[in-house]
Every structure is written in structure tokens, then in C-alpha cells.
Structure 1
Amino acid sequence: MADSPVTVPTAADPVAFLDAVTNPVRRRDGFNLLALHERATGERAVMWGPAIVGFGSYHYAYASGREGDSAAAGFSPRAAASTVYFPYGFDGLDDDLAELGPHRVSTSCLYLKDLTKVDLAALERLVARSYARVTAEA
């Protein structure tokens, strides 16, 4: 797991944040990701920093000595794609990734340009499996 930028939970309203997204596809997908994450995690949405909609939390500690708390699952409607966060990466999630449809991944991020083109059941399984793994160690 690579060091990631520090984010903290805020009192900002996730629905107001999503309402303000100007790109109509990202806004639509943001609301769909909100509902999907609530189902997959059983948690209510909380804004982490100014642009991440997060669900639950976990404590991390890096070999560098840096540690803190972050969202156990989350997403952000970025300009180029909706970004879904997987704190522990994608090990063991290959089967659901193969069923997902058009996507791109980095170390701990899944990039989706349009949720209407992906298998939402596979995406919900990915989020649920990742969340369970992250929170099992909490």
C-alpha cells in the first residue's frame, strides 16, 4: 500500500457535494456510487476532505512511520473518470474485475468513465469484498 494524501472526515454534506458536480455523467454516476457503497458497506456516506465520499474508516500505519485514519471505502467523481478507492489494492479481486467491463486500475484506484457500461453487480461485489478485508483488520 503506497503512502496516500491525508484526508480527514468533514461535516460537509455528500449529497450537496454530488449535486454540485458539473459533469452530468460524473454527477449521475456519483449518486449511483453513493447508493452502491451504502449497500456494499452498510455505512452512511461522509465527506473525507473536499472531494472524497467515504464509508467507514480504518487505521493505517506505513513502514515510514506515518499513520492515520482513512475511509475504508470511497469514491470521487474526478474530471476524467469516477475514481473508486481500494485501500489494500486488488489482490484476490481478479474474478470480479474480469466481469466488470471497461475500467482502468492503478495501485489502489479503479477508474470508471461511465457506470452504464459496467456490471454494477460485479462492482458492488468488489466494493463489499474490499471493505470487508479493510475493516477485518481494524
Structure 2
Amino acid sequence: MYELKTKETDNSVIEFIENVESPKKREDAYQLLDIFTETTGYEAKMWGPSIIGFGAYHYKYESGHEGDAPLVGFSPRKAKISLYFAPGETKREELLKDFGKHTTGKGCVYINKVADIDVEVLKALITQSVTFLKEMYPNQ
């Protein structure tokens, strides 16, 4: 049976951020922690060893694969900061046009630093993702 690596843990979010090597990335992580907490209303939790997640939902694919994931989250990685939103969400692309300097992956948006982006657009992306996932998985 496939074991999910990214599960909610009891590890300390603050301790994790304090261990981020780059002082600038650490500062950005605290700024993102405030923005995500304020926007979602959820307490930050560690998911796996390096993702700071907010809220949670249970998903089940047609293939039968299922699991739990944070509604939104971020990770201050060495190369870039990863922002996690609902994948395949249509309004995301529209919002990203005004987001600032970034690159994208399937469920991730990558930024170098918070100063490169429009924080109001970030808040809209967070809200949009949470709303979309709550509608898609209503029994949470």
C-alpha cells in the first residue's frame, strides 16, 4: 500500500522556520506565516518535514487513491519558496497574471522572495484555493 509522505505532524512550525538557513528566507517565511494565518483563519501545522500547511481536506481519486492534504501552504526551500494551492484550479491562472515574479508547477507556485509578489493577489489566491477545495470536498 502506498504510504503518503506528506502527513500532518506535531512538529513546531516556529522551530522549523528558525532552522531555515537564509535570514532573508526566514524573514519571508514569518511574513508568509502571518499572511496565510490571517487569510485562512487556520493555525499553521507542519505537513511532512518541510511544508507549513493551513486547514486540511480529505481527497479520494477515481483510481481509489486517497489521503489528506492542507488546503493551502508554503515551504521556504533552499532554491525558491514553494506556495501550495489547489491544482488545476482555473481562476488561479487569471490571478497569477498580476501576481509578480514567479514560476509554476502542477500544484505549486514558486517565488524567490515575498518582495517580488503582490501580497493582495497572494491573499486572493489563498482564499480562492480554500473556497475551491471546500466546495470540492464539502464534508471536512
Aligned residues of 2:51 and 2:74 also touching (Cα < 8 A) = yes
Mean Cα displacement is larger for which, 9-18 or 23-32? 23-32
| Residue matched to 2:102 | 103
| Residue matched to 1:50 | 49
CA distance in structure 1 between the aligned counterparts of 2:30 and 2:88, rounded to whole angstroms: 23
Cα displacement (A) at 1:96: 1.8
| Residue matched to 2:14 | 15
- Aligned pairs (5 A) from 1:33-112: 33-112=32-111
Superimposed CA distance per residue, residues 27-82 of structure 1 (whole angstroms, 9 cap, x where no aligned partner): 11111111111122110101111111000000111232110111111111111110
CA 1:24–1:12: 2 relative to 1, 3 Å:
same
Identical residues among aligned pairs (%)? 35
Give the aligned CA root-mean-square deviation in angstroms. Answer: 1.3
CA distance in structure 2 between the aligned counterparts of 1:33 and 1:130, rounded to whole angstroms: 16
CA distance in structure 2 between the aligned counterparts of 1:28 and 1:103, rounded to whole angstroms: 19
CA distance in structure 1 between the aligned counterparts of 2:61 and 2:45, rounded to whole angstroms: 24
Cα displacement (A) at 1:19: 0.9
Cα displacement (A) at 1:114: 1.1
Cα displacement (A) at 1:89: 3.3
**Aligned partner of residue 11 in structure 2, secondary structure:** coil
Aligned residues: 134
Cα displacement (A) at 1:7: 1.3
TM-score (normalizing by structure 1): 0.90
Long gaps (5+) in structure 1: none
Long gaps (5+) in structure 2: none
TM-score (normalizing by structure 2): 0.89
**Aligned partner of residue 11 in structure 1, secondary structure:** coil
Superimposed CA distance per residue, residues 6-28 of structure 1 (whole angstroms, 9 cap, x where no aligned partner): 31111111011101100122211
